[in-house]
């Protein structure tokens, strides 16, 4: 078992250095889609964090306990998709029952997470990197935190850009994409933080 510091490095590396959105370019659809207002961005972040962590753990269990012993690794994608869809559905029901207010805030974002490529991406990267159980969980949670961080920062930027004097050809999505590109560049600057 690797020492504790390695887990910490993995965590920080996942949040800042190998950021799921800005470096690995996964989960771009919610990144562009729900970053118009900071409240919705926070709601989406919370839902994604929960689902991503849970589905990373579940995917690891399915892969190493069911698929690998039976030699069925080629079914990974479809099996992970089933697991993610089930987790998202289950989460939606529980949230609807226990916290109607949160359910109203999250609204359409909960089902949308099913099609968030970051969730499947994290599950597949975990397999690719041969992460163990704890590493998978940390990677899932770290990726979710990285996603939340970037999404909320981006939403804050967009709220300010909205009131700025943007040249006409750049208005709307164009300036959003440029902002995202600049953020990606800025996050490249963190590469030296952790050697992964």
Which residue's CB is nearer to other proteins, number 68 or number 174? 68
First to last CA, the chain: 18
Distance CA 37, CA 142 (A): 23
- Helix, strand or coil, per DSSP, at residue 123: helix
Which residue's CB is nearer to other proteins, number 52 or number 62? 62
Residues 117 and 29 sit within 8 Å (Cβ to Cβ):
yes
Distance CA 40, CA 56 (A): 24
* Smallest separation, CB 83 to other proteins (Å): 7
Query: Taking CB under 8 A as the rule, which mask of x and - marks residues 83-122 in contact with other proteins?
Result: x-xx--xx--xx-xxx-xx--x------------------
Number of residues that bind other proteins (CB under 8 A): 22
Residue 8 interacting with other proteins (CB under 8 A): no
* Smallest separation, CB 66 to other proteins (Å): 6
- Helix, strand or coil, per DSSP, at residue 59: helix
Residue 61 interacting with other proteins (CB under 8 A): no
- Helix, strand or coil, per DSSP, at residue 185: helix
Which residue's CB is nearer to other proteins, number 98 or number 173? 98
Residues 30 and 44 sit within 8 Å (Cβ to Cβ):
yes
**Contacting other proteins within 162-191 (CB under 8 A):** none
Residues 6+ apart with CB under 8 A from 125: 24, 139
Residue 70 interacting with other proteins (CB under 8 A): yes
Q: Which stretch binds other proteins (CB under 8 A): 3-11, 39-47, 72-80, 133-141?
A: 72-80
* Smallest separation, CB 143 to other proteins (Å): 23
* Smallest separation, CB 171 to other proteins (Å): 29
Residue 67 interacting with other proteins (CB under 8 A): yes
Distance CA 193, CA 17 (A): 7
Pick from 136, 153, 126, 121: which is nearest to 45 by CA?
153
Chain positions contacting other proteins, by CB under 8 A: 62, 66-67, 70, 72, 75, 78-79, 82-83, 85-86, 89-90, 93-94, 96-98, 100-101, 104
């Amino acid at each position: 078992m690797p020492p504790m510091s390695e887990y910490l490095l993995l965590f920080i590396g996942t949040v800042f250095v190998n950021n799921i959105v800005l470096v690995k370019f996964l989960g771009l659809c919610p990144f562009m889609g729900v970053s118009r207002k900071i409240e919705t961005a926070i709601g989406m972040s919370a839902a994604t964090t929960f689902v991503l962590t849970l589905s990373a753990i579940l995917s690891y269990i399915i892969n190493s306990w069911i698929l690998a012993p039976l030699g069925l690794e080629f079914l990974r994608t479809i099996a992970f998709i089933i697991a993610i869809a089930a987790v998202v559905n289950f989460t939606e029901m529980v949230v609807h029952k226990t916290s109607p207010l949160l359910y109203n805030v999250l609204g359409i974002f909960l089902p949308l997470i099913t099609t968030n490529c970051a969730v499947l991406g994290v599950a597949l990267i975990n397999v690719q990197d041969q992460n163990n159980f704890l590493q998978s969980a940390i990677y899932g949670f770290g990726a979710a935190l990285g996603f939340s961080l970037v999404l909320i920062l981006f939403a804050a930027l967009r709220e300010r850009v909205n009131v700025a004097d943007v040249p006409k050809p750049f208005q709307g999505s164009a300036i959003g994409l440029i902002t995202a590109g600049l953020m990606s560049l800025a996050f490249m600057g963190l590469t030296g933080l952790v050697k992964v």
